[in-house]
Structure 1
Amino acid sequence: MLQARTDLTSRIDAVDPEVGAAIRDEFERQQYTLELIPSENIASPAVLQALGSLLNNKYAEGYPGKRYYGGCENVDRIETLAIERAKALFKAEHANV
């Protein structure tokens, strides 16, 4: 777990050590408490990496292939994957992710 914590804050520490310290403290808090709010459950390192990626800079309002903004081809690919995987997982004809 130490590696995950270091990965999360090493670059931030170089720019703003106080923010880095607060993030480390939040990491520790999440490791030793049980959060009963589903949207605040612990995210995997892969999810945290995706959230911190260039995708964070992209508006992608609407549905795949029917976006309000251009340049969403890659977001469409990811969302379509999520839809197909949710349909397979839940044996559903439709999914909205």
Structure 2
Amino acid sequence: MNRLLSQVDPEMAQILDGELDRQIHTLVMIPSENYASKAVLQVQGCIMTNKYAEGYPGNRYYNGCRFVDMAESLAIERAKRLFGAEHANVQPHTGSQANMAVYYALLDEGDTILSMHINHGGHLTHGKAQNFSGRYYNFVFYGVDRETEMIDLNYVEDLAKRHRPR
């Protein structure tokens, strides 16, 4: 149980090393694939991965959740402080639900949102007509220039000034 992946499965370790190298040396414009910092990777790959903790701090369906409760309570307090909120829930089920929670918490129906177009790396919840966001909010899109493969930040700034997204 205390051996490293490179010792237990060198072939898989080599594959993961290859993916790490790809991520370090490639710019990916898909938001859900942003490069995570070492601190984020450390938290995501930590011992908590072995713990299932359905419910909320102090009210779980399983025993042995003391440290999970502590971590979640810390995250809740930080979110409340960050947003000046009385309550916070830090348990998103999916990226779509996480985006929905942010939209409903911070926006009003009809508000304008400036977002990367889905064909250029934007998320399905960024104004797609079939999605809740496309029905309730006004989206203004930007993308990646085909020639330079870059985002024209002057154009994005112009869109922001013209459309005044919330």
TM-score, length-scaled by structure 1: 0.77
Q: CA deviation at 1:76?
A: 0.4
Task: Check if 1:28 corresponds to 2:21.
Answer: yes
The separation in 1 between residues aligned to 2:29 and 2:54, in whole angstroms, is 29
- Equivalence for 1:44: 37
Q: CA deviation at 1:23?
A: 0.6
Identity %: 61
- Equivalence for 1:6: none
Task: Check if 1:81 corresponds to 2:74.
Answer: yes
Q: CA deviation at 1:36?
A: 3.1
| CA shift digits 1:30-83 (9 cap, x unpaired) | 112233333322222122222332211111111111111111011000000001
Task: Check if 1:59 corresponds to 2:52.
Answer: yes
- 2:29 partner SS: coil
AA of the residue aligned to 1:23: L
- C-alpha RMSD of matched pairs (Å): 1.5
Tell me, which stretches of 5 or more residues in structure 1 are unaligned? 1-10
AA of the residue aligned to 1:83: I
Tell me, which stretches of 5 or more residues in structure 2 are unaligned? 91-166
Task: Check if 1:16 corresponds to 2:12.
Answer: no
The separation in 2 between residues aligned to 1:67 and 1:78, in whole angstroms, is 14
Structure 1 residue runs of 4+, over 6 Å off? Answer: none
AA of the residue aligned to 2:43: A
Corresponding residue pairs, total: 87
- 1:48 partner SS: helix
TM-score, length-scaled by structure 2: 0.48
Greater Rg over alpha carbons, structure: 2
- 1:59 partner SS: coil
Between Structure 1 and Structure 2, the one with more strand by share is 2
Between Structure 1 and Structure 2, the one with more helix by share is 1
